[in-house]
Amino acid sequence: MSSIYILSTTPAITCILSYETKRENNAVFYRFKVEIQPNHNTAFAYNLKLDITLNNKKILSGGALKDIQPGKWTVPFSKYFPHQTGWYRVESVGNAGTLPCAVKFYSTQTSGSASANRVVAVPAAENSVRNTKVKINGTWKNAENVFIKIAGVWKRTEKVYIKNNGVWRGG
C-alpha cells in the first residue's frame, strides 16, 4: 500500500503514502501518513482530499490533505490520518497476513484523481508460550519452564520465540 500517487490534476500533484501498524491481541491498529510534494511555481489553488477503505470498511471520507490555499508550496508537507498520534482500529484480525485497503486522492473543485486497491500488512500475533508444550528428552513440558541456551546465555523460553503450528509465540 505504501506508494507514490500522482494525481491527474493540472499541475500533477504527487502524494507519497506510507503507514504504520501495531498489534494488540486480536486487534490491529493503523496510522497513515501522506506527504504532498511541492508544486513549486505552478499554482494549484484547490483542495485535496483522501478516502481510505480498510478491511472493506470506509474509515476516512474526505480527509483534508490541503485546503484551497496555499496555491503554491515549495517544500513537502505531511498529514497524518487519523492524526499524528491516533490510530484506526481493526478488530478480529486473527492470523490474516494482509488486509484489503483502498485509497483515493482527489479534489472536489477540479478533475483529476489517483487511486489504488491494494493490501496492508498485518503484524503477526504474539501469543504467550505458557500454554505451549515442548518435548524434551521424550517428556512434554510447559514451555515457560524450559530454558534454552542462546549465544551462550540461558534464557527462559518466555523471553524468546518458538514456532508452534506455524505461529511464532513468545515475547
Domain containing 147 equals 133-170
Closest CA to 65 of 100, 102, 16: 16
Q: Assess if residue 128 is contained within a domain.
A: no
Residue (of 27, 57, 52) closest to 106 by Cα position: 52
Q: What is the largest CA-CA distance in the chain?
A: 74
CB atoms near residue 107 (< 10 Å): 19
Could you read off the pLDDT of 20-52 as tens digits, one per residue?
999 888 889 999 999 999 987 888 999 999 999
Q: In this predicted model, what pLDDT tens digit does every residue of 55-70 receive, in sequence order?
A: 999 999 999 999 999 8
Q: What is the CATH number of the domain that holds 15?
A: 2.60.40.10
Same domain, 109 and 142: no
**DSSP, res 37:** P
- pTM comes to 0.72
